[in-house]
Structure 1
């Protein structure tokens, strides 16, 4: 018995010893190889197990392994995975991880299509916002708000949900290329970008990269100001997901859920996200709601092939607000909306955007061999919806003492008077869009590679006006095509039901036309790269055709003359690493860009007559240079740019009798813009647990030379033609030419951090409408300079582990414009003189007759997110 007890004790001791010996304690610090700064929140996992930890704010970790020797795997959002071997307890010191295109634990499909720049290799000015920061800062905002702390970016909120816009180096969104997983998403007809169509994209974004200037995109696209690449989830490597709920100011609430099976043993991966949001909006009459859906099915049959099928959409409707005369805001408050009122006892937005744009794409990545790859994506989108706003000769006469529209009184008047014509009309802008992108890349040697590809797009636009809400009216309209008839049906504002219907031709009015735009392009690039030096040459050529068919102004369906035009671009650049910490680059390019479809006609809505001013391509020349420095505590990027945009075309309209209807149309050509400036980004870590970053952008953006302008009446009759001699040297408006900002992140204790951001805007000018009557007045020539302003935003984040190691709760609070700064973020008129006789005053030196957009006051949101 004694021996048995001794044997058992010895066995237990040996087992305990084995367990102790088998374990090791591994420590180290994970750092960013580019910035040489710690990476908090990186995942450190013992390979082959679920045993893991996350790095703290200083990038440090301590992991007790289950085996005496083996490997640990380190991963982080937007960085390549690093595997490090260990044998016994050890301090592994600093472990560098480098940014790459894996972007979290996601297999990026279409790798040859998604043009993401590597910060230290590609010779361009670039800023990358990763998923963690997007999750924290996005809140209930559009993407431009998230990007406002990057150099040369100006964000304009616009008044309603999804109405935000951004300016990059002084260029608006029509001249900044936006890509979603490599797919162009700017409007084909006019290059515009509507964020309300992409309200859920930030929920599934792994990263957003802003390439300022020429960028690295191989496509022949409109990247005059720059290129914004949005990369979303496709094939997750790991199973997991999240559930998030958010509340915010003005009764905002949003709920979303995401789940992915991860890449399973059979090579399949399924992921899906659903979301719903609603809120009253900051501005009066900007109430809205919408949904987001995302479904992805991936298949990886072997190491050489990856397929992915994706469907996403964001059906929504929201009230439009903003853009009123400054005097209206002074009289009724900064939240005032001209179209706001009540109907049947409920808030009613007479100005309203509603849209549903499902996007479908199928991607195939083929690794042909160790040197060659082929990436292809076929995509389609089916946009349905429009913009609704008041129609009628006396609509705006039905107001109460607070300036609100009385829609009940409008309806009562319509029912009592059959000749009354006050109702809500809708400008329908629907489309069917299909395209294929394909890129073949090949490594000729260790240092030399090339790629070639094709870009094809087939687009049909459908445009007309119809009644959104008749409010009891029965208006009569006359078309040359359909004769005289009465509007008896209204389409409503539901984005789901409008997806499956188009109004009959006898329920359309004002204009009714379709357009077919076909585009075929080819591109190629050759690149030479070593550890110290890289250089590339890139080119693209394209041809596009335009065919417009009018169903309103002619007795039968009439086609305009078909237009075919070609364009091309050439880009070249190089970078040189002086040493480990210093790098310089230079970049140059030339674009010959075709006019947009809408520029080809004297008035695309009312005529098939081609615009004689739109015969030549626009020409863009860009020069850029940059210097980058990095050290353990301080890193910075300094960029200089000079961009010339020649032979630009602008169209505008003027409501001369102030009845809400445009009756004079202007077209200007030969416009030359010169944009030049300096950008400085600084990243510092003065003490542990504190990151302090900042930027300064100094620009000088002006019109150069004179401009030819023609004016037409509403019947397309030429009223005037000639040069405008007073445009030379005028400042380009809408975006501040001097911006600066600073932001700080301080971790109080592990997983609890506070952040603050300060943004300053100066040398902001009103937009210049070359045909508008107020700009033609001698005393109003030259851009109106708006008051400078600054905003301060605060945030707090807390992460708490729950259950398994990978599961956690994230709590986030954002408060924007905490000091309630009152400021003008954009002016769409250019009135210098104060018309005191008309009852207008001056506010901070600005005539209150100007139409402006005010920035929001204090706003906030609070979110709780469970990651599993």
Structure 2
């Protein structure tokens, strides 16, 4: 993938850009451009296809600036994640055709629910910083704006098959009618992906579909999208003890001692090695289905206006299943069992924790372009509602006590309403200078009623009102170079879990909303064979929510607000064509990510008081000071491309204490990608692809966690998520 992609053609993207078709006007209101004064990268379909052999979307975006990716199963299929500038998925705003995709309550993004969605994508734009987000959760590190609305004018059918390491297989079938009678089009895709995963038992069984039908004329269109995914993944959420991941016997023995493991168990785990999976129950799975309906339209109104209304509905339902040994009856609201003179207080059981939710609403924009083109702008907004049922079922128990089959030990509901309205505009002050302004009002309400999984009451009602202004400017020096600047304010509400934790903990303070002030300054130099972009940023947070080590009344980790924290960095991107056959591109982020004052709480499980430690100017967890990527691409002949894709991620701290004993070590990984296209009399195109991940078999981990507690002394355990060594995916594409 190119080092960076912006809105003007450059050496890194000359083969990927096409003119914006009518469908893309829908997402223009939520996308950045060269006049916005913000840092962004746009990846087109042709570039995505080169990498799309079965891995999730985060892995297709790995080479973009300031991006760090991870995979629970270790190979990019199943549960995957992405961080931008060190910020996690709950602070990255994701939209699908302008419609919010982040989970309304947790604010996270679960790419596993959209397997092979990239096969239906026409472009993805990643904005770094607050960005231009206008729908959905507040962006506190980035925005991922996904567009599927490509108009296929010519009919085609296509079959893609992939095979690879860990018994990975992917097959999909795509088809389009093309434009019928200059007005109608229908597209379809069906996909299946299976993989055993790198980690033991971390298997994935993924199915998805995408159906779309549209009516187009010269100025207007209406399109109905229906798509969904069903995933069944064996859980690998627990990670691997640090000593095992590193092959460090002393650290592993410390873990064994901390957890009172017997010698036989310890040896079995050690002999398993980096692929160890804590879970062994044969159905310890996550089983979830999510279906989407989108009615998207765009209408030209007079000479200067365009109206883009969208209706949407998402239905999600599923559970994750767990085997629990030695579960106390009291924890499930059940009576102890008495047999003769013996009272039994615990039982082995199997439980399912369910989600059943509906998300629906409308988003819209009204776009204006003046006759002189000096003024362009958008008015828009959205209203969305989430209705979620949370409940837990006991489906088996060694001792049933007074429970019934599928006994629900907890049940609660959550309703979240999200309304926003915005206005934004660009004004061309002179031929070379424009200004940009954006003002959004957002109102959020969340109501939770019922009993949560630890039998705590979670009845609460919360509302938040936010004003999010943005200002930017862009100055063009000549046909090749320009500079930009912007200042933006973002606000974000606490998650459902933050509110529940505060509600169920005596003496806890209610979590406050987070606020971010984001200053961006940049310079772009774009020539046909050379491109350069330098971006500096300062992101100042007020009341950022972070983990401190504190726990609630039921022993769960909680997040608390820290008054002041910041991220400051420089993002450098460059690409140079070396002759006709070689392209060299690279990007690097150098940053500092600090919390000005942080208080760690080490909980006590003996008679001693909690340990409290204060740190000044400490590093924010999971925020490497150096991130670098790039590509060396060789095209010996027109239809053959060979690319080396290096990625370096600096050291990351597992918590906010800057403790050198709680880190993910820096890593440097190289992937090799080969793409070839063959001509045939019986097919429009035969594509062959080979992706070799981790070419040099580097042993590394990309994510982890840590916890400490007092029990006859201070005990700390670190866990990491090892990634696979050298592995491959090979694919064949047949297009007719």
User: TM-score under structure 1 normalisation?
Assistant: 0.73
The answer to whether the 8 A contact 2:502-2:510 is kept is no
| Aligned 1:566-581 pairs, distance under 5 A | 566-581=465-480
- For the 8 Å contact 1:112–1:439, the answer to whether it is kept is no
Residue 692 (1) aligns with residue 666 (2)? no
Name the count of aligned residue pairs: 686
Contact 1:619–1:645 (Cα < 8 Å) also in 2? yes
Could you say which residue in structure 1 is the equivalent of 2:240? 324
SS of corresponding position for 1:767 = coil
Aligned pairs for 1:136-155 within 5 A: 136-155=50-69
How far does the alpha carbon of each residue in 1:280-338 deviate from its partner, in whole angstroms, 9 at most, with x for none?
A: 111101112121100101112x4343101111111010112251212344412111111
Q: Distance in 1 between matches of 2:18 and 2:681?
A: 26
Secondary structure of 1:202's counterpart equals helix
Where 2:619 maps in the other structure, the secondary structure is coil
- CA drift at 1:737: 2.1
Aligned to 2:288: 355
Matched, 1:861 2:729: yes
CA distance in 2: counterparts of 1:729 and 1:554, whole angstroms:
36
Q: CA distance change for structure 1 residues 671 and 315 in 2, over 3 Å: closer, same or farther? A: farther
Matched, 1:34 2:8: yes
SS of the residue corresponding to residue 421 of structure 1 reads: strand
Q: Distance in 2 between matches of 1:164 and 1:553?
A: 25
The within-5 A match list for 1:136-535 is: 136-159=50-73, 161-219=77-135, 221-233=137-149, 235-265=151-181, 267-300=183-216, 302-321=217-236, 323-329=239-245, 330=247, 331=270, 332-340=272-280, 348-350=282-284, 352-393=285-326, 421-446=347-372, 447-467=374-394, 470=396, 473-476=398-401, 485-489=402-406, 507-509=407-409, 511-529=410-428, 531-535=431-435
Match of 2:32?
117
Matches within 5 A, 1:11-26: none
Distance 2:663 2:486 in 1: 32
Q: Is the 8 A contact 2:474 2:484 kept in 1?
A: yes
How much has 1:157 moved relative to structure 2? Answer: 1.4
Instruction: For 2:275 and 2:201, locate their aligned partners in 1 and report how far apart those are by CA, in whole Å.
Output: 9
For 2:603 and 2:28, the matched residues in 1 are separated by 43
- 1:636 deviates by 0.9
Q: Structure 1 pair 194/33, CA: closer, same or farther in 2 (3 Å)?
A: closer
Q: What is the aligned partner in structure 2 of residue 15 from structure 1?
A: none
Question: Comparing 450-459 with 557-566, which one deviates more in the overlay?
Answer: 557-566
Q: Distance in 1 between matches of 2:730 and 2:158?
A: 16
Deviations 1:719-741 (A, max 9, x none): 9999x662331111224220122
> Partner residue of 2:697?
820
User: Which runs of no fewer than 5 residues in structure 1 stay unpaired?
Assistant: 1-30, 42-76, 81-100, 342-347, 396-416, 477-484, 490-506, 714-718, 769-774, 841-846
Q: What is the deviation of 1:563?
A: 2.1
Which blocks of at least 5 consecutive residues in structure 2 are unaligned? 248-269, 329-342
Question: Would you say the 8 A contact 2:551–2:557 is kept in 1?
Answer: no
8 Å CA contact 2:531, 2:576 repeated in 1: yes
State yes or no: 1:631 paired with 2:527.
yes
Residues 420 and 473 in structure 1, CA contact (< 8 A), matched pair in contact too? no
Counterpart contact for 1:113–1:376, Cα < 8 Å: no
Higher strand proportion, which one? 2
Counterparts of residues 686-835 of structure 1 (less than 5 Å)? 686-706=578-598, 726-768=614-656, 784-803=662-681, 807-829=684-706
Is 1:541 matched with 2:441?
Answer: yes
Flag the structure with more relative contact order, 1 or 2, with Cα contacts below 8 A and sequence separation at least 6: 2
Q: CA deviation at 1:704?
A: 1.5
Matched position secondary structure for 1:230: strand
Paired residues of 1:180 and 1:230 also in contact (CA < 8 A): yes
**CA deviation digits over 1:208-230, x for unaligned, max 9?**
11111122233464211011111
- CA positional deviation for 1:831: 6.9
Change in 2 beyond 3 A, CA 1:610/1:432: farther
Q: TM-score, normalised by structure 2?
A: 0.86
Distance 1:294 1:388 in 2: 28
Separation (CA, whole Å) in 1 of partners of 2:107 and 2:497: 10
* Contact 1:767–1:783 under 8 Å retained in 2: no
Deviates more, 1:647-656 or 1:260-269: 647-656
SS at match of 1:431: strand
- The structure with the larger Rg is 1
Does the aligned pair in 2 maintain the 1:373–1:440 contact within 8 Å?
Answer: yes
Q: Secondary structure at the match of 1:236?
A: coil
In 1, Cα distance between equivalents of 2:280 and 2:47: 35
- Measure how far apart 1:134 and its partner are: 1.3
Other structure's SS at 2:209 match: strand
Write the distance in 1 (CA, Å) between the matches of 2:12 and 2:723: 36
* 1:552-631 equivalence runs, <5 A: 560-602=459-501, 612-614=509-511, 616-631=512-527
Q: In the aligned structure 1, how far is the partner of 2:464 from the partner of 2:596?
A: 26
Residues 197-206 or 821-830, more deviating: 821-830
In structure 2, C-alpha distance between the alignment counterparts of 1:296 and 1:712, rounded to whole Å: 56
1:138-167 CA distance string (max 9 Å, x none): 322111112121111111112263311111
Describe the SS at the equivalent of 2:35: coil
Alpha-carbon separation, structure 2, partners of 1:663 and 1:558: 15
1:747 partner SS: strand
Checking the alignment, whether the CA contact within 8 Å between 2:310 and 2:363 is kept in structure 1 is: yes
> Deviation string for 1:353-393 (max 9, x for gaps)?
22111011101101112210000111010110122333122
Shifted more, 666-675 versus 249-258: the winner is 666-675
Measured after TM superposition, the shift of residue 832 of structure 1 is 13
Tell me the alpha carbon deviations over residues 819-866 of structure 1, each in whole angstroms, 9 at most, x when there is no partner. Answer: 111112223016799x9x99x9xxxxxx9x411111221121000011
Distance change in 2, residues 1:652/1:310 (3 Å): farther
How far did residue 117 of structure 1 move? 2.7
